[in-house]
Amino acid sequence: MFGLFGKKEPSFDIDSAIKMVAIEGNNWIDIYGVIENVKKDEIEIKVPLLPQYMANTLVPISPEKEVDTNLLEIHKDGSVKLFNFSTKIKDILLSERIIVISKPSKFKEKTFGKAKELLNNFDIEVEIDIEYNAVGVPHVQKGKTHRIFHNGISLFTSIPIPVKTIIEVSLKIPYVEYAEKKKDKFTASVVESKQLEKKKFETVLNYESIEDSLKNYLLEYSLLNQKVD
């Protein structure tokens, strides 16, 4: 599905999704944002969760900190590309939730094909924090996705969930700005709950009802978290 092709300069389009990884010793933090402004030698990135990232005590985030960065771009011809580069933080505007990074001169590139084709046929392993509950049951559980498909998701559960159970799933894409307490939600039906080991099941859900915008974000987030070899 994935392959490396000839390199082309990133276009650094406004609203393109970015993931920056800052490392300190054996610890790291993933920082998500979108491009808000581009200047000659720097890029301003809107980071909705910046106060939360800054509050972590394991990985200091400050100017001159090096970050390993993924940039996902969807080009006018519909092609989807992931660029990876190393750069440094130039400035942090906490009140505006902006991180400024230096524009890179070297980068690696991976192409995923056309966006329309990907939306209709993808299967990517990626973790996303979620909350879920059976429809009509108030008890909410927390978990992480294991895989994202074009027509559903899978997650690890400690017990099997009966087939045809309708599940409501809530999540936040970390680079999307949400109103306070608001989350994206969708409903899905259990099609399989397969035991992997003691008290560990992989439960597969097919979408019952999901907004197209959220489905697009799930694909985008999944691709943004891939590796560029």
Residue ranges of domains in the chain:
17-113, 123-224
Quote the tokens at residue 182.
């608001």
How much is the pTM? 0.89
What was the pLDDT predicted at 3?
Answer: 37
Mean pLDDT by 10 residues, the chain (229 residues): 53 96 98 97 97 96 98 90 97 98 95 89 92 92 93 93 96 90 93 93 96 93 93
- Please count the CA atoms within 13 angstroms of the CA of 206 that sit on its side-chain side: 4
In the prediction, which pLDDT does 9 show? 80
What lies within 8 Å, CB to CB, of 216 at 6+ separation is 119
Query: Side chain identity at 119, as an amino acid letter?
Result: L
Per CATH, is 123-224 categorized as 3.40.50.300?
Answer: no
Residue 20 CA, chain-centre distance (Å), reads: 11
Topology at the third CATH level for domain 17-113: Pnp Oxidase; Chain A (2.30.110)
Cβ(184)–Cβ(217) under 8 Å? yes
Beta strands at 184-197 and 152-157: parallel, antiparallel or unpaired: unpaired
Residue 19 is predicted with a pLDDT of 98
pLDDT of residue 4: 40
- H/E run at residue 182: none
Question: Tell me, what's the pLDDT at 7?
Answer: 52
Backbone angles phi, psi at 219, to 5 degrees: -65, -45
Among candidates 173, 171, 175, 172, which has minimal Cα distance to 34? 175
Give residue 12's pLDDT: 96
Ranges assigned E (strand) in the chain:
17-24, 27-38, 42-46, 66-74, 79-93, 98-102, 108-114, 123-125, 129-134, 141-149, 152-157, 166-171, 184-197, 200-209
